[in-house]
Amino acid sequence: MNDKLYDVPIVTTAMAYDAPNGHMYILILAQSIYLGGLLDYSLICPNQLRSNGIIVDNAPKRLSPNPLMATHSIFVPNDDLRIPTDLKGVISYFITQTPTLQEIETCKWIMLTSENDWDPHSDIFKIHESSYENYENLSELVKDQTFLPIGTDIHRNSEVSLLLAAISTALSDDLFPFVLKDTVNLTYEKAVQVSATSTTHRGTSISKEYLSQLWGISLNTAAQTLQVTTQKGIKNAVHPIVCRYATKQSRLRYNQLGSRHGQFYSNTFFATTRSTQRNTMAQLYVNDIKYMCIMPMKKKSEAPFTLQKLIQDIGVPAAIHCNGAKELQLGKWRDYLQ
């Protein structure tokens, strides 16, 4: 009998969790498998949580090398939330429930796993593991006084430091000095100068707290990353989504109408007499220097297409002020603005 499952859906799920502190949280599991009615519980991969900066101690205290320090829990550092786990046989578990719509909208969300693709069979895990074998004598190398140690906000040998090292040795608090030393030596050999670039502060809708949680890095590192990074676009979702957004930012192919002249005002005008093209209304776009663009329409539902034409012919407005008409707030109109 073949018990293998094929074409198992990968989804984003939400669970309601009553924490010991008396608060309810919505735990989000992205890139998780959906088994429908085959199981009456959810499966969580500990290493998938660890890859998202979550600290997982899934060893029972009795079997831990240091029982006095063991917690047998899941700890979310950025939210200071500890989820105690219990045992059913040899399986660690904690109790959750299906959240109501009100709980989803009012309770705090916590991302236990990342929305990035998760492939448990990838060879990258073996590659990252092998990178540590090259630094077995790291404790002796740290005593090398030919260079100064570089300090960061990340505690040495912390869970976060290990996660960063898995991405790149240059991100590790322990390994970066050696990578830097080798790079500088190589630079002298090739007579290449080390240069740097800088930029003025740019506003962003992504906070350093969110980036710290998403990448598993310190707040200071997240703040510095935002300061030197240009954000070209962002997409939002109100509730957990079951599919990934496309990363291609097609709107960047059009002109970007920045500055104050890129702020437009729009309204719908109606006529009592039909035009020769059978139009009875028009959508007007105007900015502060009296640039006007009039798009004729046969019905109000065509308003989103006039915005599409404005973007294609003129460019993407920095902002649009309009009235509360639903055709100017929902559906395709809202999609074009995002």
- List pLDDT tens digits, range 201-259: 555 567 888 888 778 788 888 888 888 876 666 666 666 665 655 655 666 677 888 77
Protein fold of 252-337: Nucleotidyltransferase; domain 5 (3.30.420)
Task: Round to whole Å and give the CA distance between 162 and 158.
Answer: 6
- Residues in Cβ contact with 297 at an 8 Å cutoff, skipping those fewer than 6 apart: 268, 279, 280, 281, 282, 283, 303, 306
> Is the predicted pLDDT of residue 268 greater than 50, yes or no?
yes
Query: Residues 53, 160: contact at Cβ < 8 Å?
Result: yes
Task: Round to whole Å and give the CA distance between 156 and 172.
Answer: 9
HSE, CB side, 13 Å, CA atoms: give it for residue 100.
4
Domain spans in the chain, listed from the N-terminal domain onward: 10-111, 124-189, 252-337
Pairwise pLDDT comparison (83 vs 197), residue with the higher score: 83
User: For the chain, what percent of residues have pLDDT higher than 90?
Assistant: 14
Q: Tell me, what's the pLDDT at 148?
A: 40
- Average confidence (pLDDT) over 321-337: 69
Of 318, 335, 324, 266, nearest in space to 297 by CA = 266
Pairwise pLDDT comparison (184 vs 222), residue with the higher score: 222
Q: Tell me, what's the pLDDT at 131?
A: 64
Task: Round to whole Å and give the CA distance between 338 and 336.
Answer: 5
Give the tokens for residue 288: 């502060």
Q: Residue 170's CB: how many other CB atoms inside 10 A?
A: 13
Confidence of residue 25 (pLDDT cuts 50, 70, 90): very high
> Is the predicted pLDDT of residue 112 greater than 70, yes or no?
yes
- List pLDDT tens digits, range 53-90: 899 998 888 888 888 888 999 999 888 899 999 998 88
Q: Tell me, what's the pLDDT at 192?
A: 44
Residue with tokens 């069979």: 121
Mean of the per-residue pLDDT values of the chain: 75
Task: Round to whole Å and give the CA distance between 110 and 318.
Answer: 32
- Average confidence (pLDDT) over 189-212: 59
- 74 beta partners: 56, 83
Q: Tell me, what's the pLDDT at 17?
A: 93
Instruction: Using the Cα atoms of residue 65, residue 67, residue 70 and residue 73 in order, give the sign of their dihedral.
Output: positive
Task: Round to whole Å and give the CA distance between 151 and 221.
Answer: 12
- Average confidence (pLDDT) over 148-160: 45
Confidence of residue 156 (pLDDT cuts 50, 70, 90): very low
- Residues in Cβ contact with 245 at an 8 Å cutoff, skipping those fewer than 6 apart: 235
- List pLDDT tens digits, range 6-23: 778 888 889 999 999 889
Q: Tell me, what's the pLDDT at 164?
A: 62
- Average confidence (pLDDT) over 294-301: 89
Task: Round to whole Å and give the CA distance between 77 and 21.
Answer: 15
Q: Tell me, what's the pLDDT at 225?
A: 86
Amino acid, single-letter form, for residue 179: V
Q: Tell me, what's the pLDDT at 127?
A: 73
Task: Round to whole Å and give the CA distance between 307 and 317.
Answer: 10
Q: Tell me, what's the pLDDT at 145?
A: 40
> Is the predicted pLDDT of residue 338 greater than 60, yes or no?
no
Q: Tell me, what's the pLDDT at 242?
A: 56
Pairwise pLDDT comparison (147 vs 290), residue with the higher score: 290
Q: Tell me, what's the pLDDT at 118?
A: 84
